[in-house]
Amino acid sequence: MTTEALRSPAIAQRRGRSELMQQRARAARWFLLPMMIALAVVAGWPLARSIYFSFTDVKLNNLYGAEWVGFANYLQIRTLESGRTIYRGVLADPDWWNAVWNTVRFAFWSVVWETIFGMIVALVLNAEFRGRGIVRAAILIPWAIPTIVSAKMWSWMLNDQFGILNDLGVRLGLLGAPVAWTASPDTAMMAVLVVDIWKTTPFMALLILAGLQMIPKDIYEAADIDGVHPIKQFFRITLPLVRPALMVAIIFRVLDALRIFDLIYVLTPNSAATKTMSVLAQENLFQFDNFAEGSTQSTLLFLLIALFTIVYIWLGKVNFDGGAR
Amino acid sequence: MASIELRDVRKAFGAVEVIKGVDLEVRKGEFMVFVGPSGCGKSTLLRLISGLEDITSGEMLFDGKVVNSLAPSKRGIAMVFQSYALYPHMSVYDNMAFGLTLEKGQSKEEIRRRVEKAADMLQIRQYLDRLPKQLSGGQRQRVAIGRAITRDPKVFLFDEPLSNLDAALRVQTRIEIAKLHESMDNVTMIYVTHDQVEAMTLADRICVLRDGLVEQVGTPMELYEKPNSVFVAGFIGSPKMNFISGDLAKSFNADTVGIRGEHITIVPENGVWSGTVIHTENLGADSYVYLEMGTEEPVVVRLDGVNTYRSGDVVQISPMPDKIHRFNAAGKPVA
């Protein structure tokens, strides 16, 4: 009797605590459920279907009659009776590797320049001057314009016969003759890069600006008293402290750039010099009736992005909580 | 070692004038404390001396040379900030060495020697490899002071360095700053605080600021014994000086009579004034008795030891005649 009386409060307490924990966990699951369902329907299911299709001989007009073909869409090695070996599949397709190269090149240069310009813009916006609020809002305009609209707009500006840029260039004597910026293979990638950098630098600038504003002002005063030159202040103080925000901004942009589609589709349609993985996959899926091959390319793109993200987070020690000190 | 002279220094932010013409001389090797209520301009004045802010008009001289437009790093100063202002991504060692590594002709060994010497002085040597976020508030403040010491400055500036510390640590650090001043007797120190106790305990001389102007400059005892305005009289000393005005002051030929709590005695009979006890505070070593006697604020009497008065008791009190401060209607002393 006495032992029971002594023990029971402790047990009740322990049970009570675990019940509370269980209740919290249950509530958390209920709150997560709608999100999980939405993600499963709009992301999980299409992704699973794409991956499945990449292992079949599916056709767009017969999605349910697909038959399993294993890795044949990826790589197929066959040795003919004559002794010749034939490689088939996406991984043996020069068009695919051209698209991979275009995508990587595009992602690298666009992110490099967006980071540099974004940093400069963010540093300017971080300084105090009259009308800063208006400038901050104005700088977002390129990013707020739908890509299709800005791509069409630039496409006209870059037009070889009617474009304002060629007209200006010729009148100022910078160009001997109008250049077909978007159509010429030599300049198509550059045109795409310019438009993308113009469009996305504001986004980068805003993310970096958020990071800059977390740096306390007083350490710059301490640096002034220490006699640290402003350029040295940037490299030794600002850059290390804004790095967490910068890393997150860069990964956002790289992920975006690796799956670039709309800008290239509108600005330089059907140009081998700019065709990226997404554009190629879209063509195969919906235009050339190569649904299985398109699915394979989509899956490879997904793997590439996933791999890059994992390596980047691992090597860069990215902290998604923001730049907490 | 440097003397600092301010001649009619003014500072305006836009249309708002914060420093309204300050003339002041800080002597070589002196510990000068700027004290005043918040918004009086004391921190701004320190920032003007540091060079972090430009003066709007007037002249600032270091050792007789005008430094109005000299960069902070060229003035031979070091500053300790209220918020410490440590570089969050650098170790304690790098925080202290950063300024030195940029000076030309400093060998690594020399820098290490100077940093370690400062670290030993402040007993932070065991923390040299840590980041600021791994330190407590008091330790961070020591690092900030250490960083200032390694610069080997002629002038040491403190901007409310203790206000982010808890009470016990504040007293301890205050003593350490006093010791620091003794051990660096060739360094001029300027210290900003709103706490008159810090001012009284640390300063060689105190500069009381009010509303952008110097109210009075003097040694702590000068300010305590001969305040030249009601403002200084009320600001310096704890508990606050009692002010008695109206008819009670008239009999002393003054508009306002000031008398400190420690200069009033409770007498059994024939006191100058009488009042009703409304509250008592026993602090052990001394005690305060609050009396209601028709003045704006209750009159505080400071007694040694523990007192046994109760609320409602009526007592007779007498001020010590030679400790009475008489002020005219403008708040200035009556000769």
Is the torsion defined by CA of B131, B132, B136, B138 positive or negative?
positive
- Residue whose entry in the numeric block shows the structure tokens 């240069």: A109
Residues 6+ apart with CB under 8 A from A162: A156
Q: Do B52 and A224 touch (CB under 8 A)?
A: yes
CA-based end-to-end distance of chain A: 56
Q: Do B102 and A226 touch (CB under 8 A)?
A: yes
- Please state the rounded mean pLDDT for residues A8-34: 78
Beta bridge partners of A49: none
Q: What pLDDT sits at residue A13?
A: 53
- Please state the rounded mean pLDDT for residues A48-76: 87
CB contacts of B50 in chain A (<8 Å) are 225
CB contacts of A325 in chain B (<8 Å) are 88, 133
What is the domain count for chain B? Answer: 2
Determine the Cα–Cα distance for residues B88 and A215; give it in Å rounded to an integer.
9
Nearest C-alpha of chain A: how many angstroms from B235?
30
Instruction: Report pTM.
Output: 0.79
Do B158 and B204 fall into the same domain? yes
pLDDT digits (tens, 9 = 90+) for A281-324: 999 888 888 899 999 999 999 999 999 999 988 887 776 654 43
Determine the Cα–Cα distance for residues B101 and B105; give it in Å rounded to an integer.
9
Q: B208 φ, ψ to 5°?
A: -90, 125
Smallest CA-to-CA distance from B260 within B303, B313, B208, B316 is with B303
Q: Looking at the predicted structure, is the pLDDT value of residue A263 above 80?
A: yes
Q: Which of B234, B255, B288 is the last residue of a domain?
A: B234
Q: Which amino acid, residue B237?
A: G
Q: What pLDDT sits at residue A323?
A: 42
CB contacts of B85 in chain A (<8 Å) are 216, 218-219, 221-222
Q: What does the H/E/C string look like for B204-233? A: CEEEEEECCEEEEEECHHHHHHCCCCHHHH
Kindly list the averaged pLDDT for each block of 10 residues, start to end, along chain B of length 335.
89 92 93 92 93 93 91 91 92 92 83 91 90 91 91 91 87 89 89 92 94 94 93 90 87 89 90 91 92 89 90 92 90 84
- What three-state secondary structure class fits A270? coil
Determine the Cα–Cα distance for residues A79 and A27; give it in Å rounded to an integer.
60
Q: What pLDDT sits at residue A324?
A: 39
Determine the Cα–Cα distance for residues B202 and B177; give it in Å rounded to an integer.
8
Peptide bond into B298 cis (omega under 30): no
- Residue whose entry in the numeric block shows the structure tokens 């305590």: B224
Beta bridge partners of B80: B158
Q: Is B87 on the interface with A (CB under 8 A)?
A: yes
Q: Do A227 and B102 touch (CB under 8 A)?
A: yes
Do B124 and B219 fall into the same domain? yes
CATH code for the domain in which residue B247 is found? 2.40.50.140
Asked if residue B250 belongs to a domain, the reply is: yes
Q: Is B14 on the interface with A (CB under 8 A)?
A: no
**Closest residue, chain B, to A218 (C-alpha):** B85
Contact B77, B153 (CB under 8 A): yes
Smallest CA-to-CA distance from B214 within B3, B4, B67, B8 is with B8
Q: What pLDDT sits at residue B122?
A: 87
Radius of gyration, CA atoms only, chain B:
24
Using beta carbons and an 8 Å cutoff, which residues of A are at the interface with B? 216, 218-219, 221-229, 232, 236-237, 240-241, 325
Q: What pLDDT sits at residue B211?
A: 92
Do B117 and B263 fall into the same domain? no
Q: What does the H/E/C string look like for B275-322? A: EEEEEEEECCCEEEEEEECCCCCCEEEEEECCCCCCCCCEEEEEECHH
Do B181 and B106 fall into the same domain? yes
Asked if residue B158 belongs to a domain, the reply is: yes
CB contacts of B71 in chain A (<8 Å) are 224, 227
Give, as one character, the DSSP assignment of residue A323. S
CB contacts of A216 in chain B (<8 Å) are 83, 85
Asked if residue B223 belongs to a domain, the reply is: yes
Which residue among A216, A225, A232 places its CB closest to the CB of B77? A225
Q: Is B57 on the interface with A (CB under 8 A)?
A: no
Q: Is B154 on the interface with A (CB under 8 A)?
A: no
Do B288 and B157 fall into the same domain? no
Q: What pLDDT sits at residue A319?
A: 65
Record the tokens describing residue A59, joined without a space.
């056709």
Do B14 and B82 fall into the same domain? yes
Count Cβ–Cβ pairs < 8 Å, chain A vs chain B: 61
Q: Do B151 and A240 touch (CB under 8 A)?
A: no
Do B220 and B258 fall into the same domain? no
Nearest C-alpha of chain A: how many angstroms from B87?
6
Smallest CA-to-CA distance from B317 within B299, B297, B294, B295 is with B299
Determine the Cα–Cα distance for residues A131 and A136; give it in Å rounded to an integer.
9
Q: Is B259 on the interface with A (CB under 8 A)?
A: no
Asked if residue B332 belongs to a domain, the reply is: no
Domain span holding position B139: 4-234
Asked if residue B147 belongs to a domain, the reply is: yes
Give, as one character, the DSSP assignment of residue B203. -
Asked if residue B281 belongs to a domain, the reply is: yes
Smallest CA-to-CA distance from B83 within A217, A323, A214, A236 is with A217
Nearest C-alpha of chain A: how many angstroms from B243?
41
Contact B264, B304 (CB under 8 A): no
Residues 6+ apart with CB under 8 A from B230: B243, B256, B258, B327, B331
The H or E element spanning position A88 is: strand A85-88
**Best of A130, A214, A218, A225 to mutate (most B CBs within 10 Å, chain B):** A225
Do B273 and B213 fall into the same domain? no
- Please state the rounded mean pLDDT for residues A157-164: 88
Q: Looking at the predicted structure, is the pLDDT value of residue A89 above 90?
A: no
Residues 6+ apart with CB under 8 A from B216: B207, B208, B223, B227, B228, B229, B232
Do B113 and B157 fall into the same domain? yes
Do B187 and B258 fall into the same domain? no
Do B224 and B258 fall into the same domain? no
Asked if residue B157 belongs to a domain, the reply is: yes
CB contacts of A236 in chain B (<8 Å) are 98
Q: In terms of DSSP H, where are the helices of chain A?
A: 2-39, 45-53, 94-126, 132-138, 141-144, 147-157, 164-171, 185-212, 218-226, 230-233, 239-258, 262-267, 277-282, 291-316
Record the tokens describing residue B307, joined without a space.
């007192």
pLDDT digits (tens, 9 = 90+) for A125-159: 998 888 888 888 888 889 889 999 999 999 999 98
Contact B264, B320 (CB under 8 A): yes
Q: Is B309 on the interface with A (CB under 8 A)?
A: no
Determine the Cα–Cα distance for residues A23 and A142; give it in Å rounded to an integer.
48
CB contacts of A214 in chain B (<8 Å) are none
Do B253 and B226 fall into the same domain? no
CB contacts of B155 in chain A (<8 Å) are none
Smallest CA-to-CA distance from B32 within B174, B175, B208, B195 is with B208
CATH code for the domain in which residue B157 is found? 3.40.50.300
Q: B12 φ, ψ to 5°?
A: -125, 135
Asked if residue B333 belongs to a domain, the reply is: no
Q: Which of B204, B234, B264 is the last residue of a domain?
A: B234
Q: B273 φ, ψ to 5°?
A: -125, 165
- Please state the rounded mean pLDDT for residues A241-268: 91
Q: Which of B184, B210, B234 is the last residue of a domain?
A: B234
**Which pairs with CB-CB distance under 8 Å and at least 24 residues apart come from A180-183?**
A182/A155, A182/A158, A182/A267, A182/A268, A182/A271, A183/A268, A183/A271
Q: Looking at the predicted structure, is the pLDDT value of residue A325 above 50?
A: no
Q: Is B323 on the interface with A (CB under 8 A)?
A: no
CB contacts of A229 in chain B (<8 Å) are 102
Determine the Cα–Cα distance for residues B98 and B73; give it in Å rounded to an integer.
13
Q: A203 φ, ψ to 5°?
A: -60, -50
**Given its phi and psi angles, is residue A89 left (phi above 0), alpha (psi -120 to 50 degrees) or beta?**
left
Residues 6+ apart with CB under 8 A from A256: A200
